[in-house]
Structure 1
Amino acid sequence: MGLTSRLVVALPETLWVPLTGGVYWTKRPDRQALQEWTDRWGPVPADGRCAAPPESLEERARHAVHTITTGDVVRAVLHRADGE
């Protein structure tokens, strides 16, 4: 079951700074590659149709699977704490 409302997480700076910095710098190359892909081909519509050739879509998928956000990390912690 997915979350249906907002959750505010207040972390001390000693935890928040390394978390956000680690996510930013570790995943920066993949985020940059996705941005360059979007600049070239445009965003992928919700229906999945796009003007990009199949091999370019595969490239996007490779970068997308490696891209995480701070929210992804927080959700993973919540799921783990919940026993999922």
Structure 2
Amino acid sequence: MDVALLRAFVHVSEIGSITEAAPMLGYSQPGLSQRIQVLERRLGCRLFERGPTGVRLTDRGTAVLPYARIMIGVADALRAEVRRE
């Protein structure tokens, strides 16, 4: 699983808007939208319901969110451990 895709997913879920989250993450809106779509394809489910005022998590997205946060935390801990030596 690509941690960068998970970070994008978590950030968009917190902001509620791909358009607003994109510049914060250093992506264009279409680029971030494409990254979310890649993650959705890899997981085999829709993570967000898209609407005119932003996005909100689907039931599956809500279920995935805590696991995404755990995986990001583990990746960050691993990175910190490797840098300690």
Q: Which range, TM-score by smaller chain?
A: under 0.3
